[in-house]
Amino acid sequence: MLQGGFLGLCGEKVDAINYYREKISELDEKVISASTLFTPDIAPKELPAVELCHGGLPLFEGYYKLLYLPICLQISYERQRILKDPKAIMPVAFVTFDSRWGAAVCAQTQQSKNPTQWLTKWAPEPRDVYWENLPIPFVSLSIRRLLISILVFLLVFFYMIPIAFVQSLANLEGLERVAPFLRPVIETIPATIGVAIPMKATFFMTYIMLDGWAGIASEILRLKPLVIYHLKNMFIVKTERDREKAMDPGSIDFPENLPSLQLYFLLGLVYAVVTPVLLPFILVFFALAFLVYRHQIINVYNQEYESAGAFWPFVHGRIVVSLLIAQLTLIGLLSTKKAANSTPLLAVLPVFTIWFHRYCKSRFEPAFRKYPLEEAMERDIMERESEPNLNLKAYLADAYLHPIFHSFEDDEEEKVEVRVDKGQSHLSSPSRSEMSTESPPHYVYHYEFEP
């Protein structure tokens, strides 16, 4: 149904199919009246038969053929010209495999004795391909990297001139020589650190309760998306597709949620020894966050992409940095107390932490950077047993096709029907039935020219 009136708010509701049929009839009459501009000398005696169809149903007829025919011919000619032009061939190819095992072997092994002849790596997701950068030769890429490295070196080198002066003031002795009047302030800095950090614990307790606990509650309630959905349902939603778009929860915002979680983790480490009373607030926050985010990720949010855990090494690095900050803060704090004699013993902690980080990086990081062949084979066997009729080859046939060859394709992204079980439906991914068809959904154009 459609609603007329101002901005579609206060008019009469009409059937959408009948409304658009009337619009097509009006446009058809305008095209027919405009066709009188063609004289018999200019107009062709008989138009070629052009059928534009989608799913076998004609979309346009009559003089639309005359309007769209030159464009179709021009696009077809341009395609043929590019296919025959040797300069249009890119030194890059996308290879798809019928098994994960084959793709993992090819992407993670060297294909030729000459290391510059065949370079293989994992292909990006089809929507992330930046076609303008694909034809750049390997030598050109190396030169660009060299130029960027030189520019960065010059930037750092000349930037060190003003930094050198500031660095001379970094130690207390140099600062006392330049500004003797700051000597009393410098002497009070260690005592200030020793007193200020424990005193801030009350502030961070309040912060955790107001921002952390309340944030978890707002995440599970999702009042803002609920209000927005009802507003859209009242004023914007006209069809079932509009309602599905209004109900789309999107994907979890990692750039916003992950830094806040890491901040609370840092606070817990820093105050674990200084002010242990803060730890129960941190533990309650992470317990609630685990339950809520686990539920939201599995049952609410759509999975926008699958990275196979490639983001975890970055999270691990930030956790190690949090440990180092907590250890250095503890060393600085104890140095201002009566435990200054035991402070050198704590200097071993950052050394062991850095060693542990390097051990984990060398031992476990390859599992995140490379795809294990054992897991690839297990998934292939599981998929063949659970989906024996799955036709991935047809789905991937046009996935990595250049945009110029998609001009007649259906540009509108196919949406999967929204189900009650959100854990089993993702709007951004094709359904199994679509992937099992002979070819992806597309517009079909037939040209029949009489000799």
User: Is 242 part of a structural domain of the chain?
Assistant: yes
Domain shared by 197 and 341, yes or no: yes
pLDDT digits (tens, 9 = 90+) for 210-245: 889 999 999 999 888 889 888 888 888 888 888 888
Of 88, 113, 128, the domain-final residue: 88
DSSP string of 88-154? G--S------SSHHHHHHHHTS--SSSTTT----PPPPGGG--GGGTT--HHHHHHHHHHHHHHHHH
Query: How many residues are listed for the chain in this entry?
Result: 451
The answer on 277 and 306 residing in a single domain is yes
Closest CA to 223 of 212, 214, 213, 236: 214
Owner of token pair 């110029």: 404
Domain assignment present for residue 390? The answer is yes
Given the DSSP bridges, would you call strands 2-3 and 13-14 parallel, antiparallel or unpaired? antiparallel
Q: Are residues 282 and 379 in the same domain?
A: no
Q: Do residues 329 and 209 both lie within one domain?
A: yes
pTM: 0.57
Residues 428 and 330 in one domain: no
Q: Which of 355, 370, 385 is the last residue of a domain?
A: 370
Count Cα neighbours of 143 within 13 Å in the Cβ-side half-sphere.
5
The pLDDT value recorded for residue 309 is: 80
Phi–psi pair at 100, nearest 5 degrees = -70, -35
Count CB-CB contacts under 10 A for residue 204.
20
Look at residues 58, 88, 118 and tell me which one is the last residue of a structural domain: 88
In a domain, 389, yes or no: yes
313-348 residue pLDDT tens: 999 999 999 999 888 888 877 777 666 677 777 888
Is 204 domain-assigned?
Answer: yes
Domain that holds residue 6: 2-88
306 located within any domain = yes
3-class DSSP state for residue 309?
coil
Q: Find residue 248's DSSP bridge partners.
A: none
345 plus 216 within the same structural domain: yes
Tens of pLDDT, residue by residue over 156-213, are 777 766 766 666 565 666 666 766 776 676 666 665 665 666 777 888 888 999 889 9
Report the pLDDT value the prediction gives residue 58, as an integer from 0 to 100: 45
Report the candidate in 87, 124, 90, 91 with the shortest Cα–Cα distance to residue 107: 124
Rounded CA-CA distance 136/114 in Å is: 19
The reply to whether 311 and 400 lie within a common domain is no
137 falls within a domain = no
Same domain, 261 and 323: yes
Task: Name residues whose C-beta falls within 8 Å of residue 62's C-beta, 6 or more positions apart in sequence.
Answer: 28, 31, 32
342 and 403 inside one domain: no
* DSSP assignment letter at 9: S
Q: Is 56 left (phi over 0), alpha (psi -120 to 50) or beta?
A: left
Distance from C-alpha of 418 to C-alpha of 195, rounded to nearest angstrom: 56
How confident is the prediction for the chain on average, in pLDDT?
A: 74
Residue 67 has pLDDT above 70, yes or no: no
- Residue 419: pLDDT over 60: no
Considering only residues 268 and 56, tell me which one the structure prediction assigns the higher pLDDT. 268
* Cα–chain center distance at 16: 36
Same domain, 356 and 393: no
pLDDT at 284: 94
Identify whether residues 197 and 264 lie together within a single domain.
Answer: yes
Comparison of pLDDT for 323 and 114, the residue scoring more: 323
What's the token pair of residue 102?
């084959």
Provide the number of structural domains found in the chain.
Answer: 3
Tokens, residue 384: 């063949």
H or E stretch covering 413: none
Q: Is residue 138 part of a domain?
A: no
Banded pLDDT at 56 (limits 50, 70, 90): very low
What are the distances in angstroms from CA 76 to CA 31, 69, 90, 154, 342? 24, 11, 20, 50, 80
Residue 336 lies in a domain: yes
Domain identity same for 82 and 199: no
In angstroms, the CA 13 to CA 23 distance is: 16
Residue range 98-103: mean pLDDT, rounded = 86
